[in-house]
Amino acid sequence: MAWREATVDVVVPFEDVAQDGTVKPTAEGTYLDVGNEVIDLRMRGGMGSADFVKAHGVRQLGVWCASQPGPGNARPLQTHSLYTKRGLGWFTWRDGSRRHGSWEIHELMDRDGVLVARWDHKWLWFQLDDSGAMRFLDEPAPGIDEDQDIELPPINPRPTLAAPREAASFAWTMRETDLNQHVFYRSYLARTENVLAEAGIDVSALSHRQTWYLTSALLTDRMVGLVEEHDDHVLVSLGREHDGTVCTYARFDRP
C-alpha cells in the first residue's frame, strides 16, 4: 500500500487531558483533523476543502474509529508529535460491493517518543444527488492523482445488542451541533460516556474503544442510550427515540 505520511508538532491543551493522563475522547476529532490537514492538502493537489467539493462533488464521511491509549501520558501545555499516515483504496462492503475511502493511522507521542494514543480511522467517499441523498462511491474518487485501486483492511463489523437496558434519554443542545443542526463528532463520544456513567459503569476502568457511525443525528432528535455489559467489554448505542434508528454504536473493552 502507498501511504501518505506527515508529522506535525501539537501542543496538548490542559482541557484535553483526563485525570489518568490519557487524551479525552471529546478531543479525538481535533487530533484527527490536525493530522489530516497536511495530507488532505497534498491529496487535493493544493485545493482547499470547499474548492475541492465544488470542483469534484465528493466528500468524506467517517464510519469507524478505534482509540487505544499508549504507555505514555499526555502532558498539558507541552509539545507532542503527531504522526499520521493514510492509504486510499476500497473496502468490501457487507453486500459484496466496493466502497472507496481511506484507512488512516494517527499516533500521538510525547517529546521522548513514547506513544500516548493511537487512533485508527476509516472513512468513505460520497456524493449528494439533487435530492440530497448520499451515494457512496464504488469507483475511485475524481481529482486524486494517486493509486486508489487497493483493497483496504475491512471495517470491523458493528456490534449487535442482544439484551440491552436503557440507561439514559436526552436531547441534543445547540453547542453539540453545527450550523446545519448536525451533531458534532465529539458530541457522540461525550454522550456515549455519559450513558455509561448513567448506567453506573466506571469509564476509567475501560480502555480500547471502537465507534461506528451509521447516520447523522440532528438537533431536533431526542435520543435513547442503551447499554449491554459483557465480561470483556461494554456496548453502547445511541438511537432516535421516535423510530429507534441507531446513529452510533460504541464498544469499550475491559482491560
Determine the pLDDT at residue 146. 86
Do 169 and 131 lie in a common domain? no
* Residue 178: inside a domain: yes
Determine the pLDDT at residue 204. 84
Q: Which residues contact 177 (CB under 8 A, 6 or more apart)?
A: 183, 184, 187, 218, 219
Do 115 and 239 lie in a common domain? no
* Residue 153: inside a domain: no
Nearest to 91 by CA among 45, 152, 23: 152
* Residue 191: inside a domain: yes
CATH of residue 178: 3.10.129.10
Determine the pLDDT at residue 38. 84
* Residue 195: inside a domain: yes
Do 38 and 78 lie in a common domain? yes
> Based on the structure, what is the number of domains in the chain?
2
Domain range for 238: 165-253
What is the residue-level pLDDT of the chain in tens, covering all 255 positions? 678 999 999 999 999 999 989 998 888 889 999 988 889 888 888 888 889 999 999 999 999 999 999 999 999 999 999 999 999 999 999 899 999 999 999 999 999 999 999 999 999 999 998 888 899 999 999 999 889 999 999 999 999 999 999 999 999 999 999 999 999 988 999 999 999 999 999 988 888 899 999 999 999 999 999 999 999 999 999 999 999 999 999 999 998
Query: How far is Cα 222 from Cα 184, in angstroms, rounded to an integer?
Result: 15
* Residue 26: inside a domain: yes
Do 110 and 58 lie in a common domain? yes
Do 97 and 190 lie in a common domain? no
Query: Last residue of some domain: 136, 154, 185?
Result: 136
Determine the pLDDT at residue 60. 93
Q: Which three cell numbers stand for residue 224?
A: 435513547
Do 126 and 170 lie in a common domain? no
Do 103 and 214 lie in a common domain? no
Query: Last residue of some domain: 121, 136, 151?
Result: 136
* Residue 148: inside a domain: no
Determine the pLDDT at residue 1. 65
* Residue 249: inside a domain: yes
Query: How far is Cα 202 from Cα 224, in angstroms, rounded to an integer?
Result: 20
Query: How far is Cα 173 from Cα 4, in angstroms, rounded to an integer?
Result: 37
Do 120 and 244 lie in a common domain? no
Do 169 and 243 lie in a common domain? yes
Do 113 and 174 lie in a common domain? no
Do 92 and 179 lie in a common domain? no
Do 70 and 29 lie in a common domain? yes
* Residue 229: inside a domain: yes
